[in-house]
Structure 1
Amino acid sequence: MIFLFIIYLFVNYFFISKKILNVCTVGLLYILLSILFGKYTIEYSAQWVSQFDLSYARLSVKYLEYAYYTILLTIFFLQLFFPEKRLRNSTRINLKGLISANSSWILILILSIPLYLVFISIYFPVFQDKTFVSKYFQDRLAEFIPYRPFYTLSINSMSTLLFLQLNYFLLKNRNFNIYRVLVNKKFAKILFMSISLFFTAKRGQLFFPFFISLVSYLIYRRKVLGLTIFSSLALILISISRNINQLLTGTFKFEDALMSFSTSFFVSVRELARVLYSFEIGGYNYLYGKTYIAGFFSFIPTSINTLKANYNYMRYTSVISGQNPDDFGGMRSTFVGEAYINFGVFGIISCSVFFALLMYFVYLWIKKYSTDSFVYFLFTLWCLKLIIFPFYENGSAMLLFFLITILFMIIPSIKLSISRGRLALKLKFLNKNA
C-alpha cells in the first residue's frame, strides 16, 4: 500500500500536477494512515470498547484495502483521461467571499442562544468528571433531548462562523502580528465564539477552525518552523482536551492521552470490525440503500422521521450492537461499513469509485476557482474536513452536518440592496469584486 502510494505521488508530481498538497493526495494519505495505524494498534485500541472479536479485524483490513486500492486507481485513471491541464481558471465564483466573512454580532448571538440555554439548564460539560460522556449528555439525556436539534444547529453553525471569521482576519492581515490580533475589534467575535464552543467540550468544532486557518496561513507563508511547533502543540492539546477535569485535579496520566488518541483518531479498522461482527453475528439482512435514503432526509428531526430513527447509519450501528442510539453516537466504521451492510462487497467497490469521483471533482472545483494560493490552501483543508474525512469515516450520516455548514457559509455572504425601487438579494461570492 505504501509503495503504491509513493509511486502515485511520483507520477502525480512529475507528470500530472505540480501540487502535492491537494484533496486527492491528502485524502489518500489519511485513508492509508487510518488503515495502517488501525491495523498495528488494534489490540491496544480494542481494550477500550465492548463487543469486539479480533478475528473480524482481518476482514476489516481486507475490505478497507479493497476500498483504498479502488479509490487510488480510480483517481489515477481520472487524472489520465480527464487531466486537470484542460481546466481553465474562472472568476465566476469568488472562493474568498465564500471562505471568509465578518459575521454580524446579531447572527452570532442568536446562534449562541441554544448553547447557553443548555449550559444554564443542564451544566457546563467541559468541567464534568467524564467529559467524553457528558459532552453527549448521556447521563442527563431526558433533559437534553428537547434541546438537541437546536443545540446541533447551534454548535455546527458557530464552528462554521468561527472559521469564516478567522479567515476574514487572516486575509485582511496577512502579515500576522499578535498585537494586531488583540487590539482588533473583530477579535472579540473570535473570542466569544471560541469560549462558547470550549464549554461544549466538543473538541472538533473548536479545534478544526483554528487548525485549518492557521496551518493554511503557515503553509502559505512557508513558515516551516512555525508549522512544526503549532502542529506539535495541537497534538498535545488534543491529547489533554478530553481529560480537562483530570488535569485540573492533578490526576491526569500519560495513559489517558493514549486512550484519547486510540478512541478519537484512526479508528476505522476497529470500528468496521465491530460493525461486521455485530451485523454477521446478529444475522441481519442487507438494507439495499435504506441508510442512504435516511441520510438524504436527515434534515427532518428524528422525532417525526421514522426512517432516520431506524436507518440513519450511525443510529443503525448502535442498534445492531445492542446499544441505545439516543445515548451512543454509533461506530465510525467508514463508508465501507455502510456500503457493506447495504450491498455487500459489490457495495464497497461501487461506493469506493463514487468516493474517488467525489474527491477528484472537489479537487478540480477548488483548482478552477482558486486565484489565490492562500485561499487554495484554506479551501483544500476545509473541504477535507467538510467532505472527505466525514463522509469517509461516517458515511451518509454526515449529510446533515454538511448541509448546516454550507448553509452558514452562504448566509454571511447574503447582501440585500435596493435597485430601481426593488429589493435585490445578492451573494457576495458570486461577485468577483466582492
Structure 2
Amino acid sequence: MNRKVTRTVCFFYFGALLSSLFFAYRAGMLNDPRGFYAQNDQFRFLFNFVNSLSGIVSSFLVVRIMQFNLRSDKLLLVLFLLVTLFIGSRGGIISPLIGIFTAYVYYRKQGRIKLGKVLFFALVVLVLIMALSFFRAGEFSASVMLSAFSLQVFYGNSFSDLRDFSWILSVWDGVHFYGKTYLAAFMSFIPSSISEFRYQWSIGKVTAVMAGYSPKEHPGLRPGMFGESYFNFGIVGVILLGILLGYAWKYFDHNIRKYAYTDNKIGGFVAGVSTMFIGSLSITAGFFGIYVVIVVYCCLYLYKLFLNVYKKTTA
C-alpha cells in the first residue's frame, strides 16, 4: 500500500469533509449536517461521497497499520476518527475498528480466538455505538446516557432493523417492487434531484413514504438484511440473496485465511473489496459507494502511473 497514495487520499477526504461541513454551516445546521443534506437533494451527493470515501480511507489506513505498523499511520487513523465524528457517521467510526479486529483475528490468531474476546469486543462496539448515538443527538450527560442505555439498545434506532421491517410490512399493500429499488440503486451515480425514478424508488425514499414520512425529513427505514429482496421478489428474492451472500462470505473467509498464512495483507484487503457488490444487495441505500470506489481506484491507478513516469524521467 503506497504511502504517498494513502496520504493523498486521506487529505482529499479531509478536504471533502470540510467542504460538506461548510455548506451545513452556511445553512446554520453545522450541528446536524445529515439533516441539512436530507433536506437538500441537490447537495446530497456530496454527503454520500464523503461517507463512501471514509470507508476507502479507513481501509487503506488499517491495511498500512497491519503491514508497516508506522506511528504516522496510527496518528492519521486517530485524526480520521476524530474528524469523521463531525458528520455523525457511526459506520465511519465503527468500520475501521471492526477491520482492525478482523485483521487481528485472521493474521495474528489464524482465525482462532476465544469466545470471551469476541464478546468483549462486541460489548465495546455496542457501548461505542450507543455513545455515538447520544453524541449525534446532542446529549452529552453521562448520567442520562447510563440511564437510557438499555432503552436505546432495545427500542432506539441503532438496532431497529426488525422493528423497521415489521413497520414497513404492516403498511405494505402486497404488490412487489419487481427490482425497482435495485434499478434505482444501480442508477445511483445520477443524483435523485434530477431523476424522478430515483427520487421515487430509492429504497430510503420508498420506506420513508411507506412509513408516512417525507423523504426530505427522514432518510428512510432499514428493512433488514433480506427485507428489500423480499419486497422486490418475495421468497424467491430472499433465497437468491441468501445464496449470493453465502457465496460472498465463504469466498472472503477462504481467501483471507489463505492470505493470512502467507502474511499477505494486500491480498486480504482485495478479497474484502471483491465482495462489495454482493454485500450491497442486502440494503441498496449505500450502493452509491461502489461507484465512488471504482472512480477513486481508477484515479489512484492513473496517479500511480504518473508517479512511475515521473520517477523515470527524473532519474
Could you state the TM-score of these two structures normalised by the residue count of structure 2?
Answer: 0.76
Letter in 2 for 1:325: P
Residue 209 of structure 1 is matched in structure 2 by: 96
Going from structure 1 to structure 2, the CA distance change for 1:363 and 1:146 (only over 3 Å counts) comes to same
Going from structure 1 to structure 2, the CA distance change for 1:403 and 1:351 (only over 3 Å counts) comes to farther
Question: For 1:189, which of 66, 76, 86 is the aligned residue?
Answer: 76
> How many Å separate the matches in 2 of 1:120 and 1:141?
15
> How many Å separate the matches in 1 of 2:297 and 2:171?
38
Going from structure 1 to structure 2, the CA distance change for 1:411 and 1:324 (only over 3 Å counts) comes to same
Residue 202 of structure 2 is matched in structure 1 by: 312
Going from structure 1 to structure 2, the CA distance change for 1:231 and 1:219 (only over 3 Å counts) comes to farther
Letter in 1 for 2:35: F
Q: Which runs of 5+ in 1 are unaligned?
A: 1-96, 126-133, 174-180, 424-434
Q: CA RMSD in A?
A: 3.7
Residue 35 of structure 2 is matched in structure 1 by: 137
Range with bigger deviation, 150-159 or 215-224: 215-224
* C-alpha distance after superposition, 1:375-405 (max 9, x if no partner): 4766677778x5566533x2x3332123324
* C-alpha distance after superposition, 1:14-72 (max 9, x if no partner): xxxxxxxxxxxxxxxxxxxxxxxxxxxxxxxxxxxxxxxxxxxxxxxxxxxxxxxxxxx
Going from structure 1 to structure 2, the CA distance change for 1:108 and 1:357 (only over 3 Å counts) comes to closer
Contact 1:275 1:333 in 2 (8 A): yes
Shift of 1:292: 2.1
Letter in 2 for 1:207: I
Going from structure 1 to structure 2, the CA distance change for 1:136 and 1:378 (only over 3 Å counts) comes to same
**Residue 337, structure 1, aligned to residue 242, structure 2:** no
**Residue 233, structure 1, aligned to residue 124, structure 2:** yes
Shift of 1:309: 0.5
Contact 1:269 1:333 in 2 (8 A): yes
Structure with the greater relative contact order (CA < 8 A, sep ≥ 6): 1 or 2? Answer: 1
Shift of 1:159: 3.1
Residue 145 of structure 2 is matched in structure 1 by: 252
> How many Å separate the matches in 2 of 1:303 and 1:340?
27
Question: For 2:53, which of 157, 166, 170 is the aligned residue?
Answer: 157
Question: For 1:277, which of 157, 162, 170 is the aligned residue?
Answer: 170
Going from structure 1 to structure 2, the CA distance change for 1:246 and 1:314 (only over 3 Å counts) comes to closer
Letter in 1 for 2:209: V
> How many Å separate the matches in 2 of 1:419 and 1:211?
34
> How many Å separate the matches in 1 of 2:195 and 2:142?
43
> How many Å separate the matches in 1 of 2:254 and 2:73?
30
Shift of 1:194: 1.8
Q: Which runs of 5+ in 2 are unaligned?
A: none
Could you state the TM-score of these two structures normalised by the residue count of structure 1?
Answer: 0.57
**Residue 359, structure 1, aligned to residue 250, structure 2:** no
> How many Å separate the matches in 2 of 1:402 and 1:264?
25
Question: For 1:401, which of 277, 289, 296 is the aligned residue?
Answer: 289
Question: For 2:182, which of 289, 292, 313 is the aligned residue?
Answer: 292
Going from structure 1 to structure 2, the CA distance change for 1:141 and 1:397 (only over 3 Å counts) comes to closer
Larger Rg: 1
Contact 1:219 1:227 in 2 (8 A): no
Secondary structure of the corresponding residue to residue 247 of structure 1: coil
Contact 2:181 2:201 in 1 (8 A): yes
- Structural mapping, 1:8-407, within 5 Å: 102-104=6-8, 106-118=11-23, 120-121=25-26, 122-125=28-31, 134=32, 136-137=34-35, 142=39, 144-173=40-69, 184-222=71-109, 224=114, 229-244=120-135, 245-248=138-141, 250-260=143-153, 262-264=155-157, 266-280=159-173, 285-334=175-224, 336-343=226-233, 347-361=234-248, 363-364=250-251, 367=254, 370-373=258-261, 375=265, 386=276, 390-392=280-282, 394=283, 396-407=284-295
Going from structure 1 to structure 2, the CA distance change for 1:324 and 1:119 (only over 3 Å counts) comes to closer
Secondary structure of the corresponding residue to residue 305 of structure 2: strand
Letter in 2 for 1:321: A
> How many Å separate the matches in 1 of 2:226 and 2:200?
19
> How many Å separate the matches in 1 of 2:161 and 2:247?
22
Contact 1:108 1:158 in 2 (8 A): yes
Shift of 1:221: 1.9
Shift of 1:412: 3.9
Going from structure 1 to structure 2, the CA distance change for 1:262 and 1:115 (only over 3 Å counts) comes to same
Letter in 2 for 1:103: R
Secondary structure of the corresponding residue to residue 315 of structure 1: helix
Letter in 1 for 2:49: L
